[in-house]
């Protein structure tokens, strides 16, 4: 997720930049004022409570505000992130937001502060007042608003500067220049986030070569169950010996062994930016296992990709691979190739359907040159980075 707090004095252009960030990164806009007014209009329990406080001349408490924000976030589980406008306003609210983010298993990525000299703010707002008709666009009110903003904001900015996530932006520049800087900061924050990819496709679709290329491009760990099993066999480990016995008896490797190998690999690369999984999950059971292994480490699937290749092309590729001497055991005849493709269809297609529902699976044309296919895959990965789930 991408969670941003946008700050700026009256006249700094927060409205314009908020609109851009929300649209560009598919964020949910959270303005405490707007949310409060909506709760009151809907006559929710919190809205009724807030309305009675306001009617009595009081200020709505932080306790009510944070409940409204939490409710809004929970009601939008599909959001790619949140843009907080005007919150937190105080040092105490900064701590409240941090606690709320922790409770929701996320965090504030950055605070973007649009800085503008007071005289420039006054000039902009007075010019706006000539056409806006707003009664608060007069110099006395403007300077009072600026004074209040500075008094409340300085402690909040200090709170986030200590955390290293406060970015100061020169708001005197053009809208386009400010937007470019905000985009650069957002892009940098998105690159820091874990990226975990599941690569689906029939045998012969090119998952191995494309998966390794993607791992190199994005600095990820490539995890292939076949490769891990082959390493165990080659190193003559206890697991390798068990796998050979299973193969010799025509049996499949049980999930207990696969889980051990995957968990070992995840533990060995605990600080990795992310992983590309090829050959896992093959079954619905394995899909639940993988989700659990990732969740245990505070991770989740970022995107699921499926390479689509016509059946005749798959058979041709696998037959050619078998003739080259570098194929799998099922590449030795067309009959075995067809049997392996059918097995994939019966066991893995239900998994693909599950990922399509839960993780937004993307189908990618797997025909053409290596570079053409790779370019298509990269385009989808870039989209997932920009709009994380």
pLDDT band at 368 (very low <50, low <70, confident <90, very high): very high
- Give the pLDDT of residue 98: 92
pLDDT greater than 60 at residue 329:
no
Q: What angle do CA 63, 69, 72 make, to 5 degrees?
A: 140
Q: Is the pLDDT of residue 331 over 60?
A: no
pTM across the whole model: 0.70
User: Any binding-site annotation on 131?
Assistant: no
d(CA 29, CA 35): 10
Q: Does the annotation place 155 within a ligand binding site?
A: no
247 against 223, higher pLDDT: 223
146 annotated to a ligand binding site: no
367 is in an annotated binding site: no
- Please report the domains of the chain, with CATH numbers, ordered by start residue: 2-27+79-192 (3.40.50.300), 195-386 (3.40.50.300)
User: Residue 238 — pLDDT band, cuts 50, 70, 90?
Assistant: very high
* Rg (alpha carbons) of the chain, rounded to whole number: 27
pLDDT of 267 > 70? The answer is yes
Q: From the centroid of its chain, how far is CA 264?
A: 25
Mean pLDDT of 249-273: 88
Find the range with the poorest average confidence among 205-209, 251-255, 303-307, 362-366: 251-255
173 is in an annotated binding site: yes
pLDDT digits (tens, 9 = 90+) for 101-120: 888 878 999 999 999 998 99
Percent of the chain with pLDDT over 90: 42
Is 207 a known ligand-binding residue?
no
247 or 292, which is more confident?
292
44 known ligand binder: no
13 a known binding residue? yes
60 known member of a binding site: yes
pLDDT at 196: 94
Q: Is the pLDDT of residue 160 over 70?
A: yes
145 is in an annotated binding site: yes
Q: How far is CA 246 from CA 84, 253, 257, 340, in A?
A: 56, 7, 11, 18
Q: Is 274 labelled a binding residue?
A: no
The whole-number pLDDT of residue 242 equals 92
For 10-25, write each residue's pLDDT tens digit.
Answer: 888 998 999 999 999 9
């Amino acid at each position: 997720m991408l969670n941003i707090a946008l700050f700026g004095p009256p006249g700094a252009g927060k409205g314009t930049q908020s609109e851009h960030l929300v649209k560009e990164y598919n964020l949910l806009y959270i303005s405490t004022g707007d949310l409060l007014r909506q709760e009151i209009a809907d006559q929710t329990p919190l809205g009724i409570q807030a309305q009675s406080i306001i009617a009595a001349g009081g200020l709505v408490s932080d306790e009510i505000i944070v409940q409204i924000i939490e409710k809004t976030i929970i009601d939008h589980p599909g959001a790619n992130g949140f843009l907080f406008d005007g919150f937190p306003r105080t040092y105490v609210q900064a701590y409240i937001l941090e606690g709320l983010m922790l409770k929701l298993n996320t965090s504030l990525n950055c605070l973007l502060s649009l800085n503008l000299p007071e005289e420039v703010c006054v000039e902009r707002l007075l010019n706006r007042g000539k056409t806006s008709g707003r009664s608060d666009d007069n110099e006395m009110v403007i300077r009072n608003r600026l004074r209040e903003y500075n008094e409340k904001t300085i402690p909040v900015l200090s709170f986030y500067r200590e955390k290293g996530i406060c970015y100061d932006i020169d708001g005197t520049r053009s809208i386009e220049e400010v937007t470019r800087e905000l985009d650069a900061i957002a892009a940098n924050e998105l690159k820091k986030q874990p990226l975990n990819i599941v690569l689906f496709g029939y045998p012969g679709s090119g998952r191995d070569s494309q998966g390794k290329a993607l791992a190199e491009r994005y600095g990820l760990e490539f995890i292939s169950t076949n490769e891990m099993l082959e390493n165990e066999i080659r190193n003559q480990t206890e697991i390798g010996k068990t796998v050979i016995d299973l193969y010799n008896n025509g049996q499949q490797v049980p999930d207990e062994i696969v889980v051990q190998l995957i968990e070992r690999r995840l533990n060995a690369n605990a600080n990795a930016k992310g992983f590309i999984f090829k050959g896992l999950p093959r079954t619905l059971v394995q899909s639940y296992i993988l989700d659990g292994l990732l969740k245990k480490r505070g991770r989740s699937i970022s995107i699921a990709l499926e390479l689509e290749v016509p059946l005749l092309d798959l058979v041709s590729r696998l037959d050619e691979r078998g003739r080259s001497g570098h194929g799998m055991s099922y590449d030795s005849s067309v009959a075995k190739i067809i049997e392996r493709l059918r097995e994939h269809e019966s066991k893995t297609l239900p998994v693909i359907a599950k990922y399509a529902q839960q993780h937004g699976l993307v189908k990618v044309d797997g025909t053409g040159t290596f570079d053409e296919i790779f370019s298509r895959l990269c385009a989808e990965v870039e989209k997932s980075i920009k709009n994380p789930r």
